[in-house]
Structure 1
């Protein structure tokens, strides 16, 4: 291989393996939009949901998600554990059903078809009709589904 091609080829290989440190090359110096911690509660017909997943989808397309705990509380993560959501307007989706997360259809003993705990419209941010605004110093957000 000619000497003038060695360095660019080595750089391309390093990028493809994620070894080079720098923006645009799979390194850790990737710039992300600013996030802020987001916590809250989600309820359906006035009662806290005891399981499921909630996601906030920003107008810029970044999704923050978190598990709904047995008391209806949640915390969101976007780029790293517990970092919250990007600032600004979000559409919200909630997916909640009666199936434990470790049960797989067709392969787990005792599998039963799932039953949604909230109407299907809430499982898509585009149809849920639920919105939230995320700001610095965010207080807990209450999501009340009807």
Structure 2
């Protein structure tokens, strides 16, 4: 239960970083964007999906079937038109059993990537997307080793 809370905390921190970029007045003009993430042919549940651009990024978390719906300003609003580098990550995070002040505290191991780490970096993932008005904007990302 604690490791799920840590995952959500890290995801929320990423959202705050994205939210700090850009002008909220430009919230109009988003376009619905949906997609699917698979790894070795199977859907990837609870993966973080980030569409990164110099102007403003969008993000989502995949559901149990590996599907996602991007948000920029509010849930499900999509992304602004443009070209994006895409990052996808899924981490296993082990929470410490005891608080840092407890003498039994042992630092947890670093998070473990459950899909190849290259996909967690926009510069190494090789994944891109172009969001366009008047288009379906449905993306499938088939991840491999």
TM-score (normalizing by structure 2): 0.67
RMSD: 2.6
Change (3 A) 1:31 1:127: same
CA offsets, 1:25-44, max 9 Å, x none? xxx98234721011110011
5+ residue gaps in structure 1? Answer: 1-27
Bigger Rg, which one:
1
Match of 1:131 in 2: 128
Give, in angstroms, the shift of residue 98 of structure 1.
3.4
2:116 aligns with one of 114, 119, 123: 119
Match of 2:56 in 1: 62
CA offsets, 1:58-107, max 9 Å, x none? 2x3311000111110001001122110111211000011234xxx74455
Match of 1:41 in 2: 36
Match of 1:141 in 2: 139
Give secondary structure in 1 for the equivalent of 2:119.
helix
CA distance in 1 between counterparts of 2:34 and 2:78 reads 8
TM-score (normalizing by structure 1): 0.66
1:96 aligns with one of 69, 90, 99: 90
